[in-house]
Structure 1
Amino acid sequence: MHKRNRAPSTDESTVKLGSPESPHRVKKRKLLDSYVSESPFPEFPHPTPSEAYAVLDILSKAYPQYATAPVALDPKFASNSAATCGNTPNVIDSLIGTILSQNTSGKNSSRAKASLDATFGNFAAIASSSREAVVEAIRQGGLANKKAATIQNLLKSIEQRYGEYSLQHLAEAGEDGQKLSDEDIMKELTSYDGVGPKTASCVLMFCLGRDSFAVDTHIFRISKVLGWIPSSADRILAQAHLDKRLPAEVKYGLHVLMIQHGRTCKGCKKSGTTAACILKEFLKGIKASKSL
């Protein structure tokens, strides 16, 4: 496999792929470029570092089995990237696993990934097979038609761009000994149709070991409950904001723990519920202390 010093620029990629960027891809790129150096809400003061550490402490005590350091990127512990949020040394496999994990349960996405691997065995076979065959292989993961199209188009684009099914240059140092920046990797990953900031951030965090903060539906909802994002924020802007505000060393832990809390806590899933929520109790305590 030949070495690459850097990812191509978007213009270079477009020329090599032989087609103009889609409007959605252009929108993603412009949005990411806008918030490389600062939050989309620079005047919004939350979360503060102390708030982030406080929530990390609360959730770590509530879910001690998930309060761990990042798992080592060892292939024998990451045979199914859909079951581990993309925790695998192979960048493309991480992308595929993350795509399959979208909008479904961990059990269903894991089964879909295992079926995909057993059916095809390698990236070239997935890319060259019929759409119907890929859909059938991942059907149990939900949204099979959409995910099959995303995965096949992703693989074909990578092969057209680089002449091989590999994105390992994103994990390796170039000839100058330097690795690509988080921003450059994010631009590369989101240049592919169907790969949004959340998916790219998961790859950065779980595959490449970078300090990134992916925002899924659970984290988005909980961040609103905590008052960590403005009411006007959508998920992409929320991720851009939180990635700038949160201390690097808490990003991995908060991501894992907030998702677990979102999956299990009934008290913060619906407004107006009487069910208990440890984070809502935390907020009540802050409000009470301010009123004294």
Structure 2
Amino acid sequence: MPPKLKRPCSPSIPPLGASGDAATATTATATDLSSTHRAKKLKLLASHSVTSPFPAFAHPTPTEAAQVHALLSATHPDLASRPRPASEANNSAGTCGSVPNVLESLIGTILSQNTSSRNSTAAKRGLDAAFGRNNFAAIALAKRQDVVEAIKTGGLANKKAGVIQNVLREVRERHGGYSLQHLAGVPVAGVNVKAEEKGKARAAPTTATDEEAMAELVSYDGVGPKTASCVLLFCLGRSSFPVDTHVFRLSRLLGWVPPKADRVTAQAHLDLMIPNDLKFGLHVLMVGHGRRCKGCKGNSGGKGECVLKRWLKEKKGAKEEELGAVVAEAEEQAADAGDAGGTFLAPLKLKSEDT
């Protein structure tokens, strides 16, 4: 009688660890995948920090960026604004992280993923009511379902709760406490201080460069370049240009990124091409216009009046049907794309707050 054949193990089931603990093996596999994903994000970030992913693509020029900024400022004077300091009075989710506490800013930006400003604001209030504002230890140590319940008004609560708790735990593991204030050059008692060094005089911390701050933020699972860029722009007051679905769609419409660009590569390109003094205002204006204007939304087929489309037809000789096709294609592409780990909404309170 031939020997019985054993069924081969499914490759989707991790093998037992040395201790025979399947849970340990599963955790190790997840950690390996997380490390691989983190390495890819950091490699992509480093490769585009100095050179555009589209080095031969010369748009937008500083003049083009200034012209669009002026046009949108005249169209939406209530949105035309200059960078302003982050405030404790703000709700970090409803203002895209415009609070001085860097970790709170990051959590608020995560909560604002794929939802309206109204819903994300309610989610942050729910989190504060359940655990206390900036009681990061309580959030990190809570049962996952308790966090889900607290933020359920913001949508995608299961995913966001997991991302927030994992970020908090990793921050504590790396830095010895629940703080990212070192990115702003703020010393934090008891954090990053070895036991034998406590009580001794230490050199004042230096503020992280834009590149250092971006690299640390995207190194956390669930945080992509757009989410990190929001924290830089609205919390740390740096010159950064986040690209959400609205900014991406309008950038395609304006011819500022090539058709092959996605949201991640578009942000890398635009962050290098747009002058620093225009980044804050242009970002806010493009998000606001993208939300308000029906004439440049993909769900309208790209049809209808739009001040940008009119400008392109007058100045560039563009045709209505061509512009409509670009808008519709960009809308579909933006919906399919992610942030390689995180998304955000801009800090605007508009009549229409859909994403």
Question: Pairwise mapping of residues 149-228 of structure 1 onto structure 2 (< 5 A)?
Answer: 149-172=162-185, 175=203, 178-228=206-256
* Distance in 2 separating the partners of 1:273 and 1:72: 36
Query: Are positions 1:287 and 2:287 aligned together?
Result: no
Q: 2:112 aligns with which of 67, 79, 101?
A: 101
Question: Pairwise mapping of residues 59-98 of structure 1 onto structure 2 (< 5 A)?
Answer: 59-76=72-89, 78=90, 80-98=91-109
Q: Is the 8 A contact 1:173 1:180 kept in 2?
A: no
Q: 1:47 aligns with which of 43, 54, 60?
A: 60
Unmatched 5+ residue regions in structure 2? 1-30, 188-202, 319-355
Amino acid at match of 1:189: L
CA-atom RMSD, angstroms? Answer: 1.5
Q: 3-state DSSP class of the match of 2:86?
A: coil
How many percent of aligned residue pairs carry the same amino acid?
A: 59
Q: Which has the larger radius of gyration?
A: 2
- Name the structure 2 match of 1:278: 307
Q: 3-state DSSP class of the match of 2:151?
A: helix
Amino acid at match of 2:232: L
Q: Could you state the TM-score of these two structures normalised by the residue count of structure 1?
A: 0.89
Query: Are positions 1:229 and 2:257 aligned together?
Result: yes
* Distance in 1 separating the partners of 2:205 and 2:38: 30
Query: Are positions 1:28 and 2:41 aligned together?
Result: yes
Give a deviation string over 1:200-248, Cα, whole Å, max 9, x none. Answer: 0000000000000000111111100111001101111000000000000
Unmatched 5+ residue regions in structure 1? 1-18
Q: Is the 8 A contact 2:97 2:105 kept in 1?
A: yes
Q: 1:245 aligns with which of 270, 273, 281?
A: 273
Give a deviation string over 1:43-101, Cα, whole Å, max 9, x none. Answer: 0010011110011011111111111111222313x2x1011110000000000010011
Q: Is the 8 A contact 2:296 2:306 kept in 1?
A: yes
* Distance in 1 separating the partners of 2:283 and 2:303: 26
Select between 165-174 and 142-151 the one with higher mean Cα deviation: 165-174
Amino acid at match of 2:293: C
- Which structure features the higher share of helix residues? 1
Give a deviation string over 1:8-42, Cα, whole Å, max 9, x none. Answer: xxxxxxxxxxx555322121111001011111101
The count of aligned residue pairs is 269
Amino acid at match of 1:237: T
- Name the structure 1 match of 2:22: none
Task: Give how far 1:145 is off.
Answer: 0.5
Task: Give how far 1:285 is off.
Answer: 1.2
Amino acid at match of 2:104: D
Amino acid at match of 1:33: A
* Distance in 1 separating the partners of 2:249 and 2:210: 25
* Distance in 1 separating the partners of 2:142 and 2:301: 49
Q: Is the 8 A contact 1:32 1:187 kept in 2?
A: yes
Task: Give how far 1:272 is off.
Answer: 4.1
Q: Could you state the TM-score of these two structures normalised by the residue count of structure 2?
A: 0.73
